[in-house]
Structure 1
Amino acid sequence: MKILIPIYLIAVVFSSVFLFQDSELKESMKRGREIYTDFCVTCHLQKGEGVAYTFPPLARSDYLMNEKRESIKAIKYGLQGEITVNGITYNSAMADLGLEDEEVADVMNYISNSWGNTSDSIVTEKEVASIQK
């Protein structure tokens, strides 16, 4: 019996952490969706499909998922120059949208968990703040 109590307490603590993170992620994604609609949908379109050879897709995007730090940097500071997404080279400019670090994190959480993308971790404001030009 004495061994069951610590096991139970450990299970409760770990469950709480995962439930809290899930709730935190859902709230961040909700905010991120609003920001995406206000700033990103014009180029990347409603379902993140982008415009072939002009604006890269965010849906099922290998670049977004494999280059997390660079993706955050692009949202935070804009992007200019060539990138390759899903085997297609894009060379257009993305303006600095003037988003706060929390907004960048929210958008990243939204796009990293939408349209066939799945992320194992939540992007935090602190993580975004650590990324410099």
Structure 2
Amino acid sequence: MYLKPLIRLSIFLFTLFLFSFSYKQRQSSDLKQSMDRGKELYMSYCLTCHMQNGEGIPGTFPPLANADYLMEDAERSISQIINGASGEMKVNGVVYNNVMPGFDMTDREIADVLNYIRNSWGNQGEVIAEEQIHEVRNK
């Protein structure tokens, strides 16, 4: 009597598990592709100031590697790539006061470069989607 509902529940839970696993694998694959594209953009736009491994130039350009400032506010990072940044910022306890220009990049390019930066050199960030860039750009 109770066997059929248990079987149905088991099938439902198993299907849910497979869907969840598949979604996570797809998301992981999407992140890897985004990071691959982002690495190329990083080499073109960011390397000069933030260096090959995101270590920056002490006292002049802040690090992106293991950077508390970068990781604590994704929206701020998006805005700074679009609009640039100037004035004091404290990164890993060190104050920097320089100018970063804004960049003329598409929403996808910004998402890709941020996915690369926020998931390299000890950083572990959530995936940045193009829609997030679009929202910040239109504020």
The TM-score normalised by the length of structure 1 is 0.95
Task: Give the partner amino acid of 1:80.
Answer: S
Structure 1 unaligned spans of 5+: none
Structure 2: gaps of 5 or more residues: 1-6
Higher strand share: 2
Residue 56 of structure 2 is matched in structure 1 by 50
Paired residues in the alignment total 132
Correspondence for 1:116 among 103, 122, 126: 122
Identity %: 43
SS of equivalent residue, structure 1 residue 31: helix
Deviating above 4 A after TM superposition, structure 1's stretches of 4 or more consecutive aligned residues are: none
Q: CA RMSD in A?
A: 1.1
* Higher gyration radius (CA): 2
User: In structure 1, how many angstroms separate the alpha carbons of the residues matched to 2:37 and 2:80?
Assistant: 19
In structure 2, what is the Cα distance between the partners aligned to 1:91 and 1:79?
Answer: 10
Aligned partner of 1:77: which letter?
N
TM-score normalised per structure 2? 0.91
Deviation at 1:2, TM superposition (A): 2.6
Deviates more, 1:31-40 or 1:68-77: 68-77
